[in-house]
Amino acid sequence: MKRFLFAVLMVFVSLPARADVDIKEFTSPGGINVWLLEEPSIPMVALELRFQGGASLDAEGKRGATNLMVGLLEEGAGDLDSQGFAKASESLAARYGYDVSDDTVAISSVFLSENRDEAMELLRLSIIEPRFDEASLERVRGQVLSVVRSEETDPNKIAGKTFKAIAFGDHPYGSGLNGTVESVSSLTRDDIVAAHQAALAKDRMVVSVVGDITAEELGPMLDNLLGALPEKGAPLPPKTTPNLTGAVEVVEFDTPQSVAVFGQLGIERDDDDFFAAYLLNTILGGGGFESRLMEEVREKRGLTYGVYSYLVPKDLAALYMGSVASANDRIGEAVQVIQDEWARMANDGVTLDELNKAKALLTGAYPLRFDGNGAIAEIMVGMQVQGLPIDYIKTRNDKVNAVTLDEINRVASELLKPDALQFVIVGKPEGV
């Protein structure tokens, strides 16, 4: 019955929401800063936690430890083994999610209001008292190793890893967060415990909650949930500057279609010109079939099914990247067209019509992202991680619309560096 009720509520909670949400910021009795959006009309709560640092906190020689640790958080906690934890969450009709990126560990939960005490306690166990049983460790290790081996034969993964290695070298960003066969195989339970202590700590934590709960109710619950975490985690790695020279690197791989990843230096999320750069990218390669790259590479020349570009403002470095795939005998032409379009936009900028269409696309699509408590909580926690103000949701579209033609064309000339646009091509490209 609870599972049925949860499913029904998820249907109602997924109805489009407005982007004028009223977020409340408060501090729990135990000192935890929280962003809360109260929504009493639906008896559900969505909770999002982020711990900054993520897989970049892997100790030297222990690459993949944080990823493996996060994969074990729901594999038994407290007195519950892996199956016991799964049964307990199912009986509560609660959903838990655990993920890791280069910059964060993400933990989420959605549960019914009537079960919130039990659901929060189960979440607490997974965060504070994970078992890291040897049997679970070996099972999840096997799953990770399967992924790592699969990536070794995936042209897209090979291209991405090669690009990262070129751009970042020995920095944590320079290798895959899953680790290698050698590093993952050598990880011990002690390494996993150390990764847990390094990554999950109060000094790098942000919390967002949306749903049927008040600040007075939530504060003590969060203190119980997170109060036993270490005060400080491992030191964050230093910021770095990608080493991109504009070269074209070819990785030979036996496939009829080559895959290319390309990129240059990007722009920080807190840069005053970020919204101009965001609109610029929408016009160049981030706007789907309306983008210049799609028009020139696919529509006019039929060189690919898709070509995309995207801003990557990571915590410790900023990139501006893209990707394309084409037949071996046509990838060279695709690369040349991308380089030409990069240069054309840098030199000539965009038109007023292109700018207005990009603004309409970005502002029109934004409210559609607020399609449920979980989605809103995820947006809110992302705002905290990025250091955005609490009223950002209300002002975001105004910031997009405020970008002028002169501003975006100045940013185009300053940001786009055609001579430094690095390519990694995996396949058997001809004429490159």
For the chain, the three-class secondary structure string (H helix, E strand, C coil) is CHHHHHHHHHHHHCCCCCCCCCCEEEECCCCCEEEEEECCCCCEEEEEEEEECHHHHCCCCCCCHHHHHHHCCCCCECCECHHHHHHHHHHCCCEEEEEECCCEEEEEEEEEHHHHHHHHHHHHHHHHCECCCHHHHHHHHHHHHHHHHHHCCCHHHHHHHHHHHHHHCCCHHHCCCCCCHHHHHHCCHHHHHHHHHHHCCHHHEEEEEEECCCHHHHHHHHHHHHCCCCCCCCCCCCCCCCCCCCCEEEEECCCCEEEEEEEEECCCCCCCCHHHHHHHHHHHHHCHHHCHHHHHHHHCCCCCCCEEEEEEECCCCEEEEEEEEEECCCHHHHHHHHHHHHHHHHHHCCCHHHHHHHHHHHHHHHHHHCCCHHHHHHHHHHHHHCCCCCCHHHHHHHHHHCCCHHHHHHHHHHHCCHHHCEEEEEECCCCC
pLDDT tens for the chain, 432 residues long, are: 455 344 444 444 443 444 568 999 999 999 999 999 999 998 999 999 999 999 999 999 999 999 999 999 999 999 999 999 999 999 999 999 999 999 999 999 999 999 999 999 999 999 999 999 999 999 999 999 999 999 999 999 999 999 999 999 999 999 999 999 999 999 999 999 999 999 999 999 999 999 999 999 999 999 999 999 999 999 999 999 999 999 999 999 999 999 999 999 999 999 999 999 999 999 999 989 999 999 999 999 999 999 999 999 999 999 999 999 999 999 999 999 999 999 999 999 999 999 999 999 999 999 888 888 999 999 999 999 999 999 999 999 999 999 999 999 999 999 999 999 999 999 999 988
Q: Is the pTM of this model over 0.85?
A: yes
